[in-house]
């Protein structure tokens, strides 16, 4: 057991995240918007699969773009995240991003995934996820937080993800950290600690070998990693 005198790193304030988060997301999405525009210019429309997404993202991040470029989004996520339905230019389906066998090769113009691959499980499942992204679409945009950025994005706490696993579990049991709150049992703390496995740029390069790897920076530090593969790249 860790000494009682040890204190958790102080999470970044929610007000800070709410203020700067939307600005960074808009900047991050500019390459995706260009990809959608290019599809529309060539085909008159854009068919997108969002693996692990939600309706909130499309409504708040780049909603008007869908109408402007005649884009249609199929959002797939695990059962219980979004109710299967059609809503405007979006269709929601239950599916596991690591097994999209219901879709043929190159079924979509663009595969999109934002902050999902770090949640799918171990390296084998990450590889399966990446292979499905590369298979089902002719181009893709996959973003994930950078392991080497000092603030862990889910608990919004400096250096948390660099600590030994047992230390992370102890902190989760004893402190409310950012979006992770109230994990008092060992089982719950372990599950939370295992729920996000951040990746580095070399790992993303290995998973997406034909992609161009871009880094989104905050205060000159690479905050997230984006693998972008354009059609006929």
Mean pLDDT of 73-93: 92
Count how many domains the chain has.
Answer: 1
Q: Is residue 50 part of a domain?
A: yes
Q: Containing domain of residue 57, as a range?
A: 19-150+197-229
What is the distance between the alpha carbons of residues 231 and 233, in angstroms, rounded to a whole number? 5
Residue 24 has pLDDT above 80, yes or no: no
**pLDDT band at 63; cut points 50, 70, 90:** confident
Q: Torsion-angle region of residue 219: left (phi > 0), alpha (psi -120 to 50) or beta?
A: left
Q: Is residue 172 part of a domain?
A: no
> What are the pLDDT digits (tens) for 1-16?
434 444 445 554 444 3
> What are the pLDDT digits (tens) for 92-140?
999 999 999 999 999 999 999 999 999 999 999 999 999 999 999 999 9
Q: Is residue 163 part of a domain?
A: no
> What are the pLDDT digits (tens) for 165-181?
999 999 999 999 988 88
CB atoms closer than 10 angstroms to residue 155: 26
**Is 106 in contact with 47 (CB distance < 8 Å)?**
no
Q: Is residue 158 part of a domain?
A: no
List the CATH number of the domain containing 216. 3.40.50.150
Hey, what are 167's tokens?
């230390």
Mean pLDDT of 181-194: 89
Global pTM? 0.85
Q: Is residue 210 part of a domain?
A: yes
Tell me what pLDDT residue 52 has.
96
- Helices 165-174 + 186-194 axis angle, to 10: 120
């Amino acid at each position: 057991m860790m000494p009682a005198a040890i204190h958790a790193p102080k999470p970044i304030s929610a007000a800070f995240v709410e203020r700067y988060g939307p600005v960074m997301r808009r900047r991050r999405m500019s390459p995706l918007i260009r990809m959608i525009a290019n599809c529309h210019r060539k085909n008159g429309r854009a068919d997108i699969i969002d693996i692990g997404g939600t309706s909130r993202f499309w409504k708040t991040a780049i909603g008007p773009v869908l109408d402007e470029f005649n884009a249609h989004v199929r959002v797939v996520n695990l059962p219980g995240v979004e109710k299967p339905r059609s809503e405007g230019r979006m269709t929601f389906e239950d599916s596991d991003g690591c097994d999209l066998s219901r879709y043929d090769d190159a079924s979509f113009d663009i595969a999109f995934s934002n902050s999902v691959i770090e949640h799918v499980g171990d390296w084998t499942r990450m590889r399966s996820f990446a292979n499905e992204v590369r298979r089902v679409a002719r181009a893709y945009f996959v973003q994930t937080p950078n392991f080497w950025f000092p603030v862990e994005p889910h608990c919004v706490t400096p250096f948390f993800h660099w600590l030994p696993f047992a230390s992370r579990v102890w902190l989760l049991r004893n402190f409310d950290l950012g979006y992770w709150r109230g994990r008092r049992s060992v089982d719950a703390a372990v599950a939370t600690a295992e729920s996000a496995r951040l990746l580095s740029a070399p790992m993303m390069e290995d998973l997406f070998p034909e992609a161009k790897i871009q880094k989104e920076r905050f205060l000159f530090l690479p905050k997230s990693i984006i693998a972008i593969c354009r059609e006929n790249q």
